[in-house]
Amino acid sequence: MTKPNILYIQSDQHNPYIMGNNGDQIIDTSTLDDLAKRGSTFTNAYCASPICVPSRTSVITGLLPHESEVWTNDQILNSAIPTYAHSLGSNGYKPVQIGRMHFNGIDQYHGFSNRLVGDHGRNHLGSPKPAKTHGDLHSTAGPSRESLQFSGVGQNAYQIHDQVVTDEAINYLRNIDEPFAISIGLMLPHQPFIADEKFYKKYLGKVDKPRIPSEELSSYHPYIQWWKMRTGIKEVTEDEIIRCRTAYYALVDQMDKLIGNIIEVLADKKLLDNTIIIYTSDHGEQLGENGLWWKQTFYENSVKVPAIISWPDGLPSDQSIDSVINQYDLIATMLDATNSKKLPRSNGKSLMEHIKNPKSKWKNLAFSEYCMDDSDFGAFSGNLGGEDIHAKSGGVQNRMVRSDNWKLIYYHGYESELFDLDKDPYEKNNLSSDKKYLNIKENLEKLVLKDWNPTSIAKKMRILKQEQKLQFDWANQTDPDDTLRWDLDPKRDSTRLDSIN
């Protein structure tokens, strides 16, 4: 058998429950459903951080945020750290990235031989080059109330980005003969919650309200209370909820069809059987469940990710596996399947044998962490130069561990949360103060804090922020060229507030 091809697809902010193969009866994800039939779906896959850059850094390196020291969206991955692209390149592939990477700094390749579409953000935070915004939809791409208010029918620049990425991928695949390794980065279904009218109409009146209703603010964990107040989602109107959820379903559908156009080229060239296709996302989307939106928490809709791996020539098909995995295990599997070198410090474990025999022994253990800056540095934000909505007095040092059926969420400075996910899949019954589970709670807290010191992390992040500020000022004064940049034209974003009824 010849060396397998690789097609790695990573979307942005896709809730794993909103897929037909995962039980959603409303969404049309025919492409992903077919991919799942040709491969294996992991229903308990967790990202290493429920926010973009740290999650993506962990996927590409196999390192947890405290190991790479990339906790926030404005930090920079050390180019000396090898990535899966370096491993594939050392094995004779010419790894190509098409679309979203979302990395900062001078290195916009991190081991890829070529990139065909860059990111829309400035390579160097602080550069005086115009920071393209979403025009009429300004502020709707972040965790702010505006993203809920300005939602519905219209045009989202991310849709255009993903069409460009799809076209480039199709063109590349049609003209490649040697074994390929392509990584595709999509922006959808990330907010703005703005969808094309055709797709929006398809779900109008069909999308349900959240399964987990919002509650009084006082019923939430104190940290989550702060977050809801910080982002203006103490109360959200029913109209906003329905518009956002309808648009999100439409965006997922549109993304699925774009992926289908790419995979169709493989089918036409009769390459499907010997191509390893992996589909995942950098994190989830809470979409109003439990009164929460976007990501940034360790609840299931935020920290879980879709995970499908298909390789008809080498792996079983049409199976769903409930084992708990870390997202970077998918990458370790890809390297193992291609006989590429394992990344020396990667935490990833190959799933090859477990996929062939799901009853084989597997350690159901996953970690995720979310650390943000001190509000003393809130006046500096690498993206906008304004207050960072994630910043909090004293910083944020939160971490999660999932072990078998148990999940513990550690909030530094607060009481932890403890959930039995077998009995409580919607995480409504916090067992942290129940003495019957004290032993479980203490053991999981020890596991969270092993080799992870929140006090040291807070100190380290303050130093990193000072270094970032220096680089921010340097870029502002020297105006370095962008290596790669996709033009996010503000005129591409628009909404109709009188959207379809």
The C-alpha atoms of residue 104 and residue 121 are separated, in whole angstroms, by 9
The C-alpha atoms of residue 308 and residue 19 are separated, in whole angstroms, by 11
317-348: pLDDT as tens digits: 999 999 999 999 999 999 999 999 999 999 99
The C-alpha atoms of residue 37 and residue 316 are separated, in whole angstroms, by 10
- φ, ψ of residue 492 in degrees (nearest 5): -80, -10
What does DSSP assign to residue 209? Answer: P
The C-alpha atoms of residue 350 and residue 359 are separated, in whole angstroms, by 15
DSSP 3-state of 131: coil
33-90: pLDDT as tens digits: 999 999 999 999 999 999 999 999 999 999 999 999 999 999 999 999 999 999 999 9
The C-alpha atoms of residue 351 and residue 333 are separated, in whole angstroms, by 5
- What is the band of 135 on the pLDDT scale with cuts at 50, 70, 90? confident
Name the token pair of 323.
Answer: 């084992």
Residue type, 30: S
Which whole-number Å values give the CA distances from 114 to 99, 118, 183, 273, in the listed order?
A: 11, 10, 11, 25
Q: Where are the alpha helices (DSSP H) in 146-299?
A: 146-149, 157-174, 197-203, 222-231, 238-268
The C-alpha atoms of residue 350 and residue 498 are separated, in whole angstroms, by 50
* Residue 493: predicted pLDDT: 67
- φ, ψ of residue 130 in degrees (nearest 5): -55, 125
Residue type, 341: K
Handedness of CA 496, 30, 285, 190 (dihedral sign): negative
Peptide bond into 480 cis (omega under 30): no
Name the token pair of 17.
Answer: 């429950």
- What is the band of 501 on the pLDDT scale with cuts at 50, 70, 90? very low
Which whole-number Å values give the CA distances from 361 to 326, 351, 385, in the listed order?
A: 16, 11, 49
228 close to 139: Cβ distance less than 8 angstroms: no
What does DSSP assign to residue 491? Answer: G
Sheet arrangement for strand 396-403: 365-372, 396-403, 406-411, 417-420
The C-alpha atoms of residue 200 and residue 500 are separated, in whole angstroms, by 9
Task: Give the class (CATH, top level) of 5-366.
Answer: alpha beta
232-285: pLDDT as tens digits: 999 999 999 999 999 999 999 999 999 999 999 999 999 999 999 999 999 999
* Least confident residue range of 265-279, 282-296, 374-388: 374-388
* Residue 497: predicted pLDDT: 52
DSSP 3-state of 44: strand
What does DSSP assign to residue 343? Answer: P
Q: What is the mean pLDDT of residues 368-379?
A: 81
